[in-house]
Amino acid sequence: MEDGRGERERLTLVARKPCFGLPTSCPKCLPVYIYLKFSKIPFSLEFNLIRPDSDQLPFVESGDYVAYNNEKGGTIQKLKEDGIVDLDSEASGIPEWVSMKAMVESWLAEAVMYELWVGSDHKSADKIYYSDLPWPIGKILYFKQVHSVKQLLGITSDNAERREEEIYGRAAQAYGALSSWLGEQSFFFENRPTSLDAAFLGHVLFTLHALPETSVLRSKLLSHANLVNYAENLKMEYVDANSSSSSVPQTDPSSSASRRGSKPKSKPKREKTEEEKKFRRRAKYFLATQLVAVLVFLSLLGGSNDADVELGDSDDGLDYE
């Protein structure tokens, strides 16, 4: 039990399963993994195979602290704001850096979402998200996800082609801009890794390795050699080199009462004064007593009526008419 608690104090990233030679193959989880790798903080990697549709993944936990992906702009943003790990302290003031980051997180993220769920066949998505779920559940969740992605991207049967051109056009523009801004440097900002590097590297690795060869997005990316080199170099240095502390997928079906220390936040509770509590308790007792008295009265009175009915009805035997 002590070992368990010690392990839980350590920083842990819970992400989706590894695939295609990547430590985690989901395009949302990969940037967080790379960010933690950049920060050189030791952390352990755990996998969750049964929540393909949850926006809480990936999350980082340490003891009782949890940084979910659907809070405060994403896991990385939450880690920065809570002071756990912040690589952007200087870069975040530079306007070009901010706009590059915005481009990666909007245009390129949309392009990957489109390509994974709508543009290509279902094989990549199945392998990443649904290979460990029983078949009926996997199929239904896949169709649900495709539908919600189409809604999110505003794709209908009328504007499907137009939207596709838009999405690919923007992605190509983004690649061009990033490629010219990067040049031959190894990082986007002053030779130091920032969250922009994490986000973009995650995107490039996913596009190159997880998307099929026929993918339009992939071919657009391959036309920028310096981006591909940038990705391969950083992958070798940070991702492959110490492919260390990834633990075996934990899917324990049993459970036990967990012990927990003090929580950093508590459930929002109404402040109740002592008097209010006493008053409420007394009111409850009063109402309960009244209700019980009424019911008992009704039932006992009902009981006496019933007795009359019973007597008049029991004429067994033969009535000879």
Contact positions vs another protein (CB under 8 A): 8, 14, 48-52, 54, 56, 61, 66, 68, 71, 132-137, 141, 250-260, 263, 267, 269, 288, 292, 295-296, 298-300, 302-303, 306, 314, 316, 318-321
What type of residue sits at position 223?
Answer: S
Q: Least CB distance from residue 134 to another protein, whole Å?
A: 4
Q: Least CB distance from residue 294 to another protein, whole Å?
A: 11
Cβ distance to another protein smaller for residue 225 or 257 = 257
Q: Least CB distance from residue 41 to another protein, whole Å?
A: 20
Residue 136 DSSP SS3: helix
What is the residue-wise DSSP string for 220-243? HHHT-HHHHHHHHHHIIIIIITT-
CA distance to 58, 118, 147, per residue, from 152 (Å): 20, 12, 9
Cβ distance to another protein smaller for residue 191 or 262 = 262
Cβ distance to another protein smaller for residue 60 or 113 = 60
Exposed/middle/buried for residue 86 (C-beta within 10 Å: 0-12, 13-18, 19+): middle
Nearest Cα neighbor of 187 from 176, 177, 205, 201 is 201
Q: Least CB distance from residue 233 to another protein, whole Å?
A: 36
Cβ distance to another protein smaller for residue 225 or 318 = 318
Tokens 């169709």 sit at which residue?
Answer: 143
Cβ distance to another protein smaller for residue 48 or 215 = 48
Contact assessment for residue 231 and residue 205, using Cβ atoms and an 8 Å cutoff = yes
Q: Least CB distance from residue 295 to another protein, whole Å?
A: 6
Cβ distance to another protein smaller for residue 61 or 86 = 61
Residue 169 DSSP SS3: helix
Q: Least CB distance from residue 318 to another protein, whole Å?
A: 5
